[in-house]
Amino acid sequence: MRNIVFLLHLISCCAFAGTQTDIEYARVGDHSLKLDLHTPKTANAPLLVYVHGGAWRAGSKSDVPIAKLLDHGFAIASVEYRLSTQAVFPAQIHDIKAAIRFLRAKSELYHLNTSRIGIIGSSAGGHLAALVGVTNGHKELEGKVGESLSQSSDVQCIVSLYGASNLQTILSQSTEFGLKMRVPALQLLLGGQPTEKPDLAKLASPVAHLDKNDPPLLLIHGDADPQMPPAQSQEFAKAYEAAKLPVQLILMPGSKHGGAEFYDDERTAIIAKFLQAHLTKP
């Protein structure tokens, strides 16, 4: 249903210029990694990289609930990555960073402004987006995927929608229902539980990578989320504040895990304002 809504939005969107689907940005062995690029009519539009959710093991780049941001003049690259059923962490981060390098290398071809890039993700995608954002230049997470290794994979701001931030604490914060979701999901992602893979769980935790150079962060989370503990976003916000980094946390009363309210006009305006503040600087 969400895909249908997205397509209808694109058809009716006056600021929308076009979509190019299944652009190969890298190959890993015989596996082709692709992205879809949605562009507004504005030339050299600021670029957003969108990371879909799905418990790290499912989901599709064709699901782009942030499509309304096209109306605000942003281009959106929706990126696929190797799912946890295909490869364990940190393959997912290696892929997303490769996509960012590819987009910078091809900025003239696709008429994009990639001097400043924002990254956005939902749910598991919010976790991956946050991790990409706070590990600019991290050698172990940079990887060697793709052919544009001379390009930067840095991003200049992060939006995490109901995403994880600390895989070392997530299970202790989870509801009984949440544990049913997270335990098998983490088993696939890490190849074991966080207690069994402590070093990998720490490497996969955005809160463990903060330094004074990390980009501005916007967190939006439902305070009644039964799947992804709201404490994950609260913990992340507190860590950012402790590091004296710019952060905004929006807890939505009564909201659960995802839903139309996270992508309505009010939330879109909040996200657009945040992005404009950090991506349209001279």
pLDDT, tens digit, for every residue of 35-79? 999 999 888 899 999 999 999 999 999 999 999 999 999 999 999
Digit-coded pLDDT (tens) for 227-240: 999 999 999 999 99
Query: What is this structure's pTM?
Result: 0.93
Sequence-distant contacts of 16-21: CB under 8 A, at least 24 apart: 16/40, 16/41, 16/70, 16/71, 17/41, 20/110, 21/62
Q: Which of the residue ranges 4-8, 150-154, 251-255 would you say has the lowest mean pLDDT?
A: 4-8
Residue 23 sits in a domain of what CATH number? 3.40.50.1820
| Residue 246: per-residue pLDDT | 98
Cα–Cα distance, 129 to 119 (Å, whole number): 6
Q: Which residues of 58-80 are buried (b: 16+ CB within 10 A; e: fewer)?
A: ebebebbbbbbbbbbbbbbbbbb
Please check whether residue 229 is in contact with residue 153, taking contact to mean a CB–CB distance below 8 angstroms: no
Q: Is the pLDDT of residue 222 over 90?
A: yes
How many Å apart are CA 187 and CA 201, to the nearest integer?
11
Residue 9 has pLDDT above 50, yes or no: no
Q: Residue 79 belongs to what domain range?
A: 2-279
| Residue tagged 């799947």 (tokens) | 227
pLDDT score of 282:
52
pLDDT value at 10 more than 60 = no
- What confidence score (pLDDT) does residue 5 get? 44
How many domains, in total, are found in the chain?
A: 1
CA distance 8 to 157: 28
